[in-house]
Structure 1
Amino acid sequence: MNKQPVSIHQTLSAKARKVKRMRTFCTIITSNYLPYAVTLFRSLQEHSAADSLYVLICDESEYEKSLVPAEKLHILQISQLYHFGYTDFLLNTYHTRPDALRWSMKPVLIHYLLDQGYEKVIFLDCDIFFVNDCKFLFDELDQTSVLLTPHWTTPDPQERESDFLAFFNYGAFNAGFIGATRRGIPALEWWAAACRYGIEVNHAKGLHVDQKYLDALPVFFEDVKILRHKGCNISFWNQHVCRRVLVNGEVKINGIYPVVFIHFNRNYIPELLEGHDRELFPYFNQFRKTFEKTGYTLGQFIAGLPAYSAPSKLARIKYRLRIRTRIKNWLFRLSKSL
């Protein structure tokens, strides 16, 4: 009797069954951003060594196979997700807009991995870097359908009006981190359908790419949980609410929470190199050194990176004033790119 060929779905299911706790991380890139995904993976290996990372490549270009470690980093081509969920609809809609396609595929990829047998899946943007133990994140998914991380922008309009308004214009939650279990599949399907409706910056409609839709999940679906550990998803947008405090030589957020992972957004890195958010600079050095082990430098991806310089007292004052409009300016540039 002839043996039937093994499909990619069967192969992935077999891999999933072998994972002791049935959990995994995932990210989405275009092929040229593989160094970011490998850097993310290496930080995960240091702080959550038992867990794997799936990388969905959303273009048809060849990727550098030599960069991919032999185990626990699994590459998926978007062609492998054809006919699954909303993939075909999203490809037809966003095939000429690479950013929009990547953003819209987040709920599809998470759903896909859950469908392959994983019980808990966490999506991460590829520019995230872990600096402390993160295994507790999967524990947060116990009795939970979807896990979200707030932006933690300033809640007081009198203190920083632009940060306050950002909460309402750009979303309460950051779409660079989303966790889900099988109980969250209806929410993921809704999010994918919403992304098919539109990936755009249109505040008159209440839209901000894939991210603003997340605000609706705790309303429309049961057991959606907000991750309240303020050491997660640290970046420039939350430095006023998530204050960096040195406690016995260790950076703790608000003097309480250890830093777990940092979102090294391409607009955040120049600020660090200019000497701002200095408490986190040692972590940035870890990120940069790990990144350069791929054979690439950050300057090949972010144009005009400055050399590091410690700021003067006057420069620090100017920076505190300037950061009030940082989120607004960053998202304005994002809207122009769409």
Structure 2
Amino acid sequence: MTSSIRCFTSVNNCYLPKARVLAESVKAHHPDWQFDLVLSDTPIDPFDLEKEPFDTLLTLDQLGVENWQSWAFMHRVVELCTATKGMAAMRILEEHNPNFLIYLDPDTAVFNSMDNLIDLLHTHPLILTPHQLCPETELPAIIDNEICSLKHGIFNLGFFAVKNAGQGRDFIQWWNERLLHFCYDDIPSGLFTDQKWCDHAPVFFDQLHILRKSNYNVATWNLAHRDVAMGDDGTILVDGRPLRFYHFTGYDSGAGATMLAKYASSNTVVNELWDWYARQLERHGQEQLGRCPWAYSVFDNGEKIENAMRRLYRDRKDLQISFPDPFDTSREDGGFLAWWQMGHDR
């Protein structure tokens, strides 16, 4: 019997070009896989699913969060797009009942078949990839990579794969419960969005498989230890094996280019790969959508939401009760924004 496999990613509108590149790359190697898009934004107008490389669209109001407007207001954009990953995974597993579910960050592209992952999932219900596979030897790299992982998480949650049974389902349920309440970029408090939580995973889930193959989840944080080359047949190879997927982290901020120059400046294959990615993004609307404003960055009257507003609102249960939709400024009392502007009890 053929296995049912779904893949998904989570974005706001400015990452839609990246999600299109990712979905196309998945479908190129696995046309039978279903691809779900999770959107923490207001869909662009027009958004025609028939013309997109996605099979389904999930928006915030469809994820089953009680009073989702209140919950969304507590998060900045990256926090929200990562907080939805657990509940989207739960919904996909429950609604579509696939045998296996794979998540990939939108700034990722697949370059070869990932059937080996599915083979692993038959015996390992949960698969994660660490940021590093071997110790750094130079002080700058220790700071850039190992210390960075200590702050942001040992595992990169730009990828995970689960079997829809046993510890695969147990992991998703546990992770989702944590993300519902604690998916914040707050490193001093021990939190980094969805990722830092998974430092617990090897202890809580003894059937976890740590994928140590260097041709998966290649990115600037591990390029120093991975030999990326072009095979005679045009296949990109990593340590002699076909590249499965590459994570173009830091593309928009410029951090990716900085780290690329630092750790792979002389590698023409890697630099050509980044050039290829730039062309694919432009083909999918990067110029039009790449700077698209996030719907939840403002109140419904267009006034910008400050980070301090979000923090105070999520720390104060009384405010959540008084202003169940904090985006709303049309109330007679002006809503949360008017309360804030009056300087009440802050």
For normalisation by structure 2, the TM-score amounts to 0.71
| Preserved CA contact (<8 Å) 2:220 2:260 | no
CA distance in 2, matches of 1:219, 1:148: 13
Once the two structures are TM-superposed, the CA of residue 68 in structure 1 deviates from its matched residue by 5.2
Matching residue of 1:137: 117
The structure whose Rg is larger is 2
Percent of counterpart pairs with the same letter?
A: 22
Match of 1:25 in 2: 7
Question: 1:244, 1:279 within 8 Å by CA — same for their partners in 2?
Answer: yes
SS at match of 1:65: coil
| Gaps in structure 1 of 5+ consecutive residues | 1-18, 303-337
Structure 2 unaligned spans of 5+: 293-310, 312-346
How much does 1:65 deviate?
A: 2.1
**Residue 293 (structure 1) shift:** 2.6
- For residue 166 of structure 1, report the CA deviation from its aligned partner: 2.3
Q: 1:106-148 CA deviation, whole Å, 9 max, x = no partner?
A: 1111121111211211111111111222232222211222211
Q: Which residue of 2 aligns with 1:327?
A: none
> Could you tell me which of 55, 58, 78 is aligned with 2:37?
55
Which residue of structure 1 lines up, in the alignment, with residue 70 of structure 2? 92
Q: Which of the residues 247, 252, 272 maps onto 1:282?
A: 272
Give deviations 1:24-74, integer Å, cap 9, x for gaps. 100111134322211111111212222121001112344542475367532
Alpha-carbon distance, 1:269 to partner? 4.5
2:129 equivalent to 1:149: yes
Give 1:161's aligned amino acid. Answer: I
Q: How does 1:1-338 map to 2 (within 5 A)?
A: 20-66=2-48, 69=51, 73-82=55-64, 87-88=65-66, 92-96=70-74, 97-116=76-95, 117-152=97-132, 155-156=135-136, 159=139, 160-162=141-143, 163-182=145-164, 183=166, 184-246=168-230, 248=232, 251-254=236-239, 256-265=240-249, 266=251, 267-269=255-257, 276=265, 277-297=267-287, 300-301=290-291
Q: Distance in 2 between matches of 1:165 and 1:236?
A: 15
Q: Secondary structure at the match of 1:288?
A: helix
Kindly indicate whether the alpha-carbon contact (under 8 Å) linking 1:153 and 1:164 is maintained by their aligned counterparts in 2: no
| Residue identity matched to 2:113 | D
Please report how far the alpha carbon of residue 158 of structure 1 lies from its aligned counterpart in structure 2 after TM superposition.
5.3
Partner amino acid for 2:109?
F
Number of residue equivalences: 281
Q: Deviations over 1:258-309 (max 9, x none)?
A: 211111122324665898353213323332333233243499449xxxxxxx
**8 Å Cα contact 1:94/1:100 also seen in 2:** no
Deviates more, 1:159-168 or 1:139-148: 159-168
Q: 1:88 to 1:145 in 2, by over 3 A?
A: farther
TM-score normalized with structure 1 length: 0.72
Question: Higher mean Cα deviation, 45-54 or 56-65?
Answer: 56-65
Aligned-residue CA RMSD (Å): 3.1
Q: Distance in 2 between matches of 1:242 and 1:173?
A: 17
Offset of residue 218 of structure 1: 1.7
Give me the whole-angstrom Cα distance separating, in 1, the residues matched to 2:158 and 2:68: 19
Q: Which letter maps to 2:237?
A: K
CA distance in 2, matches of 1:38, 1:68: 13
